[in-house]
Structure 1
Amino acid sequence: MRSMRRKLCAAFVPALVSGMAFFGVPAMAQSVVKMGCVLPLTGGSAAVGNQTRAGVLAAVDIVNKNGGIKGLGGARLEAVFGDSQSKADVGVTETERLIQRENVAVLCGAFNSAVTFPSTEVAERNKTPWVAVGAVKDEITERNFKYTFRINNKAIYDAREQLDAIALLAKESGKNVKRLALFYEGGDWGRSHAANIRKLVAERGFEIVLDEPAPPNQVDFTSQLLKIRSSRPDALILALYTPDQLLFTRQLAEQRLDLPFGVHSAGGGTEDPSFYKVIDPKSVAYYFVQEDWQVDMLDVNKDPVLHDIDKRTRDMLGYGMSAYVAQGVSAVYVIADALERAKSADRQKLRDALAATDITSGPALFTGYQRIKFDENGQNTFAHGVISENLGGKRQTVWPLENRASGTTPVWPVPAWSQRK
């Protein structure tokens, strides 16, 4: 008899709740919307992952303090994190946990392309929308997936911007680059970047004189630096994560390797504030960095929300805004915008709202973009970066011209080590 009562109650209670509106009693509004974020919070990319986490936490707190998701009766956002450890298999496991056990409405992450690529497959199978953060591998948004959306650049954009910047600086000075060396991390990101450089240089008249991936877990780059020296490039294109970037930069400076038109880094470690906290500033003088946000944004944008997030980030991490903080902020505001329009945390409705995104103002654009609108593959085609040069100990935007401050003058070619103070 007790078993019968329990079964009757179990059947009756949901019907009663769903039918409350019929009897004039409003159904309970959703109070919390969970968004899952898979990030490298430990391991080789932990510095970057924790910057992205700081941006997510700051943005979630601001959204909630401003009334939450008003389209859902003021529902609060809750960020639930999964640590990928920069490992693909761990990222996949964490994605499954967030979907199945935490029952998140939407996911974001995972910075590393090698983690994001398989993890978005899990999200696609489970029909859970995923907002890609940081990962640039082209194929992430080239698989006809319906639940994957990427706010930032894909790899081909990064490569094109590096070469466009070189072309602009050459045109302005009348001093051209011909010989390029490529050195990059051996995972999905580095190999994808190198492949795109190869694809683009043929039509631009460059010659690639060295093309080499970095071995995993490298503790000494002496042999690779010797190869670069012997190939006599005009400029070196790099794609390295923070630990490798730190070691490589120190050894390049120790060997005083002259590159007439400098080092051109595709973000990675050279976008990471933790890198600049421990590197000798003289080691990165005249470095060109393809930035995933406008590094001097705080100087040109006086939005109090931006400066509030910068302060919060300093309190959390000991340093302020970075590309990775900005990307975390952007992901939260893109998701919040979709929730407002969907008026639902249902995964399918949220997916449809994300597909219809068209943002032209507000904190989602703190990355430096003018617009976020996804194409049929989920790629924001309005994404772009800037190229900075480290001048006088500060990274200053030199490309594109419309982002360059009036007082900024690029140094091209760069001084030899013997001519630097």
Structure 2
Amino acid sequence: MKKTWRMLYVTLGVFLWVSAFPAAGARAADQVRIGAIYPMTGPAASTGAEMTDAITLAVDIINGKYDLDLPLARTKGLPNLKGATIKVIFADHQGKPDIGQAEAERMITTEKVAALMGCYYSSVTTTASIAAERHKIPFLNPESTDPKLTERGFRYFFRTTPFDDPFAENFFQFLNDMKKQKKVKVDSVAIVHENTSFGMGVAVAEKKYAGKYGYKVAADIMYAEKGTSFVSEVQKLRASGADVVMPASYTADAILYMKTFKDLRYMPQAILAMDAGYIAEDYRKTLGKDGEYVLSREVWAL
């Protein structure tokens, strides 16, 4: 639920931003079409459902008129476009970069959208935004955190979330604070991450700041996303002797890792997760108490 509310605020901001583009009004005098590409099936489907729910709610708030302290709630439609309403066309990328790019192309050429948003997966955002850049269509990204996304020099790509570099540094600043204030002994970390651009970007950032703040990287384990067994990876984590484990996983993998931790009775001093699967609703529902005591970063607190 918390993620849905966060996404609602972001989406309202997205639509306010879109209304500032002249092209948005040029496509249709009374309606602005926006394409939203998210994982509606596959291992992150529950996260995709939360995001589509938030977007649908945001559209209802904007197109209607409500006495709410929210952007665009008290006016009907988009005031900068003479009250034009918003229509969102959803597409399912299934967590696959090639499908995400194909859906972006379809949205632009067939659905005639004025702008695109998405795609949660950094790897899918990478490919989908290439299509938008080629067609000179604005692409707004509220939640993908791979640092490379904004290092490509794109003119039509806009990201509203912070990225993994400052998140990674915050982890080590937090560990330093714990050592100083609580006298916790933490000298080493183990990084375990999936093998798409999200996970690899996280690993680069975490290794960078481990070095800067004087922590030993006892293990750097990359695994294939959507795994069916993580016994080998967890055994490597145990063998590394790391004080803290730092995972970067989407929902299904995060759930399986925590189940494997329990099955193998592996318990590091702390787990510092890079968001994603560790804050998903399915994670909480599936694991219950077995999913507790994981510390995760977030983009902001409501």
Q: Shared fold by TM > 0.5?
A: yes
Amino acid of the residue matched to residue 58 of structure 1?
L
Q: CA deviation at 1:179?
A: 0.8
CA contact (8 A) 2:283 2:291 kept: no
What is the aligned partner in structure 1 of residue 218 from structure 2?
209
Looking at structure 1, the residues matched to 59 and 177 of structure 2 have their Cα atoms a distance apart, in angstroms, of 39
Q: CA deviation at 1:167?
A: 2.0
Amino acid of the residue matched to residue 127 of structure 1?
K
Residue by residue over 1:168-210, the C-alpha shift from the partner in whole angstroms, topping out at 9 and shown as x without a partner, is: 2222212241111111111110111001111111110100011
Amino acid of the residue matched to residue 167 of structure 1?
N
CA contact (8 A) 2:226 2:252 kept: no
Q: CA deviation at 1:248?
A: 0.8
Looking at structure 1, the residues matched to 114 and 168 of structure 2 have their Cα atoms a distance apart, in angstroms, of 34
Looking at structure 2, the residues matched to 121 and 225 of structure 1 have their Cα atoms a distance apart, in angstroms, of 36
Q: CA deviation at 1:217?
A: 3.8
Q: Structure 2: 5+ residue runs without aligned partners?
A: 1-27, 66-75
CA contact (8 A) 2:191 2:219 kept: yes
Alignment of 1:342-421 (within 5 A): none
What is the aligned partner in structure 2 of residue 108 from structure 1?
117
What is the aligned partner in structure 1 of residue 7 from structure 2?
none
Q: Which stretch of structure 1 is more off in the superposition, 105-114 or 162-171?
A: 162-171
What is the aligned partner in structure 1 of residue 13 from structure 2?
none
What is the aligned partner in structure 2 of residue 286 from structure 1?
293
1:259 aligns with 2:268: yes
- 3-state SS, counterpart of residue 91 of structure 1: helix
CA contact (8 A) 1:112 1:189 kept: yes
- 3-state SS, counterpart of residue 90 of structure 1: helix
Looking at structure 1, the residues matched to 180 and 64 of structure 2 have their Cα atoms a distance apart, in angstroms, of 49
CA contact (8 A) 1:162 1:266 kept: no
Q: Give the TM-score taking structure 2 as reference length.
A: 0.84
Q: CA deviation at 1:63?
A: 0.8
Percent sequence identity is 28
Looking at structure 2, the residues matched to 221 and 158 of structure 1 have their Cα atoms a distance apart, in angstroms, of 25
Amino acid of the residue matched to residue 62 of structure 1?
I
Q: Structure 1: 5+ residue runs without aligned partners?
A: 1-28, 298-421
Identify if the C-alpha distance between structure 1 residues 236 and 217 changes in structure 2 by more than 3 Å, giving closer, same or farther. Answer: same
Alignment of 1:314-325 (within 5 A): none
What is the aligned partner in structure 2 of residue 351 from structure 1?
none
1:130 aligns with 2:143: no
Residue by residue over 1:398-421, the C-alpha shift from the partner in whole angstroms, topping out at 9 and shown as x without a partner, is: xxxxxxxxxxxxxxxxxxxxxxxx
- 3-state SS, counterpart of residue 32 of structure 2: strand
1:139 aligns with 2:139: no
Identify if the C-alpha distance between structure 1 residues 62 and 234 changes in structure 2 by more than 3 Å, giving closer, same or farther. Answer: same
Amino acid of the residue matched to residue 116 of structure 2?
L
Looking at structure 2, the residues matched to 129 and 176 of structure 1 have their Cα atoms a distance apart, in angstroms, of 48
Alignment of 1:13-32 (within 5 A): 30-32=29-31
1:196 aligns with 2:195: no
1:270 aligns with 2:260: no
How many residue pairs get aligned? The number is 265
Looking at structure 1, the residues matched to 57 and 172 of structure 2 have their Cα atoms a distance apart, in angstroms, of 35
Looking at structure 1, the residues matched to 178 and 87 of structure 2 have their Cα atoms a distance apart, in angstroms, of 45
Q: Give the TM-score taking structure 1 as reference length.
A: 0.61
Return the index of the structure with the highest Cα Rg.
Answer: 1
- 3-state SS, counterpart of residue 89 of structure 1: helix
Looking at structure 2, the residues matched to 62 and 75 of structure 1 have their Cα atoms a distance apart, in angstroms, of 13
What is the aligned partner in structure 2 of residue 48 from structure 1?
47
What is the aligned partner in structure 2 of residue 157 from structure 1?
166
- 3-state SS, counterpart of residue 158 of structure 2: strand
CA contact (8 A) 2:43 2:226 kept: no
Q: Which stretch of structure 1 is more off in the superposition, 268-277 or 166-175?
A: 166-175
CA contact (8 A) 1:185 1:240 kept: yes
- Higher RCO, Cα 8 Å, sep 6+: 1
- 3-state SS, counterpart of residue 246 of structure 2: strand
1:92 aligns with 2:101: yes
What is the aligned partner in structure 2 of residue 36 from structure 1?
35
- 3-state SS, counterpart of residue 195 of structure 1: helix
Q: CA deviation at 1:293?
A: 3.4
Looking at structure 2, the residues matched to 157 and 107 of structure 1 have their Cα atoms a distance apart, in angstroms, of 26
Looking at structure 2, the residues matched to 166 and 60 of structure 1 have their Cα atoms a distance apart, in angstroms, of 41
- Runs of 4+ more than 4 Å apart: none
Looking at structure 2, the residues matched to 155 and 65 of structure 1 have their Cα atoms a distance apart, in angstroms, of 36
Q: CA deviation at 1:157?
A: 2.2
Looking at structure 2, the residues matched to 223 and 146 of structure 1 have their Cα atoms a distance apart, in angstroms, of 43
Amino acid of the residue matched to residue 125 of structure 2?
T
Looking at structure 1, the residues matched to 197 and 102 of structure 2 have their Cα atoms a distance apart, in angstroms, of 19
